[in-house]
Structure 1
């Protein structure tokens, strides 16, 4: 089974995944990246933070895909 690495960039900094996760396909890795970005966004928003989150998915050969989310709170 292929191993995928999920690097996370958020307003607090960058976390490089050195361990990786074995998943059956790139589609499964895409879904994992989307779930990861959702959890990170919820965590930041719960603390009142705004910003941008990026999850980059790579395998041992290099970058495969990037998932981005930006969010802000606007008082009207």
Structure 2
């Protein structure tokens, strides 16, 4: 099993995953990233916050992919 790292960007804050998770494959990492992202988004909305959010997934060798949520409302559109 490969170790995957899930770095989190919330607004202007960045949290590097120093431990990672051992998962059987890339599909499992995709599921974990989406669950992490939606969990953070859910907590943010309940707190009245709506920052742009991203989870960037990497292995020990390379960056693999990024999932994100970008919040825009009528006042933020250009």
Q: Which runs of 5+ in 2 are unaligned?
A: none
CA RMSD in angstroms, aligned pairs only: 1.4
Higher strand share: 1
Runs of 4 or more, structure 1, over 6 Å off, are: none
Gaps of 5+ in 1: none
What TM-score do you get using the length of structure 1 for normalisation? 0.90
Contact kept in structure 2, 1:7 and 1:17, CA below 8 Å = yes
Residue by residue, what CA displacement relative to the aligned partner does 1:7-54 show, whole Å, maximum 9, x if unpaired?
A: 000026111001010000000000000000000000110100112101
Match of 2:40 in 1: 40
Distance 1:49 1:72, change over 3 A: farther
SS in 1 for 2:49: coil
- Tell me the equivalent position of 2:62: 62
